[in-house]
């Protein structure tokens, strides 16, 4: 199996953004981020973020967008015209809306925003998503002691992100990590982390040429995939965001073969 090449520029930009997010996280008042761990809601697959009490600091949010602007324009000067438009449009009210829509994965809101303002289609969602992550990560740290599993087909129990990466730890235990909020939970070694299927005949571990420490676990029932990385073989263990980024070629391999992160939509199996 061949590995697909991902542009070095893309990886460099993403790793710079991850570094920014780590520093942003330190500037948030963690007291303003409070999960409301409602067991019934969690059992029903409602992500913790939906019921959390979070005080979003809008000046910080706008500052982070500025820092992203600097990074993106530096890489692609043509984007400066878009940021000129955006700086007019992105009021405090709009910023609140962006946060709300990013947390509920409302891509169509952002597509519409881009269309109305004449911005690149990817830009508003990309910015909003990048700037909500520090809050999600603080929320995940606070919720972590109560996160022991994910409900089938509901994604990450804190933020709702579809599963796509797990690490082998200790004796070979599979631990699923959310690359968006960083929360983690244990799962069976041979089980689909999307739909819960644990039939050995339909959950398969694919080896990838040249990858001694990585497999792609695929499920023939829901057509979901999970990258399973044996980070015990790493000298320095990267953060999950970096691990997800450096293994992005595995996502392409899985997707080329018709598997999706998240599996097929709920109820469609």
Among 224, 228, 253, 261, binds Zn ion (CB under 5 A): 224
Measured from the CB atom, the residue of 18 and 86 that comes closer to Zn ion is: 18
Stretch that binds Zn ion, among 78-86, 95-103, 114-122, 197-205 (CB under 5 A): 197-205
Measured from the CB atom, the residue of 11 and 221 that comes closer to Zn ion is: 221
Could you give the dihedral angle defined by the CA atoms of residues 215, 220, 222 and 225, in that order, rounded to the nearest 10 degrees?
10
Q: Judge contact between 192 and 237, C-beta under 8 A.
A: no
Quote the Cα angle for 121-128-107, to 5°.
Answer: 50
> According to the binding rule CB under 5 A, does residue 156 interact with Zn ion?
yes
Q: Judge contact between 122 and 79, C-beta under 8 A.
A: no
Q: How far is the CB of 64 from Zn ion (least distance, A)?
A: 19
Stretch that binds Zn ion, among 24-32, 62-70, 119-127, 187-195 (CB under 5 A): 187-195
222 SS3 class = coil
Among 65, 95, 102, 192, binds Zn ion (CB under 5 A): 192
Measured from the CB atom, the residue of 114 and 166 that comes closer to Zn ion is: 166
28 SS3 class = coil
Residue 93 backbone dihedrals phi, psi, to 5 degrees: -65, -45
Stretch that binds Zn ion, among 61-69, 94-102, 122-130, 153-161 (CB under 5 A): 153-161
DSSP annotation of 27: H
Q: Can you tell me the distance from the alpha carbon of 169 to that of 184, in angstroms, rounded to the nearest whole number?
A: 12
> Quick one: which of 232, 228, 248, 238 has its CA closest to 167?
228
x-or-dash pattern for Zn ion, window 118-147, by CB under 5 A? ------------------------------
> According to the binding rule CB under 5 A, does residue 178 interact with Zn ion?
yes
Could you give the dihedral angle defined by the CA atoms of residues 66, 124, 134 and 91, in that order, rounded to the nearest 10 degrees?
60
Q: How far is the CB of 126 from Zn ion (least distance, A)?
A: 18
Stretch that binds Zn ion, among 34-42, 123-131, 163-171, 174-182 (CB under 5 A): 174-182
x-or-dash pattern for Zn ion, window 34-73, by CB under 5 A? ----------------------------------------
Max CA pair span of the chain: 56
Residue numbers at the binding site for Zn ion (CB under 5 A): 156, 158-159, 161, 178, 180-181, 192, 194-195, 197, 219, 221-222, 224, 263
């Amino acid at each position: 199996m061949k590995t697909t090449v991902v542009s070095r520029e893309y990886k460099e930009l993403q790793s710079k953004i991850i570094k920014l997010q780590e520093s942003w996280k330190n500037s948030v008042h963690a007291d303003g981020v409070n999960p409301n761990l409602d067991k019934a809601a969690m059992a029903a697959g409602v992500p913790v973020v939906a019921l959390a009490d979070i005080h979003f600091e809008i000046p910080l949010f706008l500052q982070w967008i500025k820092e992203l602007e600097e990074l993106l324009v530096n890489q692609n000067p043509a984007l400066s015209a878009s940021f000129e438009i955006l700086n007019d449009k992105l009021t405090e009210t709009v910023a609140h809306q962006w946060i709300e829509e990013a947390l509920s994965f409302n891509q169509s809101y952002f597509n519409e925003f881009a269309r109305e303002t004449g911005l690149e289609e990817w830009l508003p969602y990309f910015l909003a998503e990048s700037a909500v992550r520090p809050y999600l990560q603080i929320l995940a740290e606070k919720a972590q002691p109560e996160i022991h599993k994910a409900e089938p087909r509901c994604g990450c129990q804190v933020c709702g992100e579809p599963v796509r990466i797990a690490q082998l730890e200790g004796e070979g235990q599979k631990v699923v990590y959310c690359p968006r909020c960083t929360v983690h939970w244990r799962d069976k070694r041979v089980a689909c982390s999307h739909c819960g299927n644990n039939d050995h005949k339909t959950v398969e571990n694919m080896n990838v040429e040249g990858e001694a420490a990585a497999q792609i676990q695929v499920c023939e029932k829901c057509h979901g995939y999970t990258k399973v990385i044996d980070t015990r073989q790493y000298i320095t263990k990267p953060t999950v965001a970096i691990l997800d980024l450096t293994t992005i070629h595995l996502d392409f391999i899985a997707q080329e073969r018709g598997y999706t992160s998240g599996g097929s939509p709920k109820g469609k199996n």
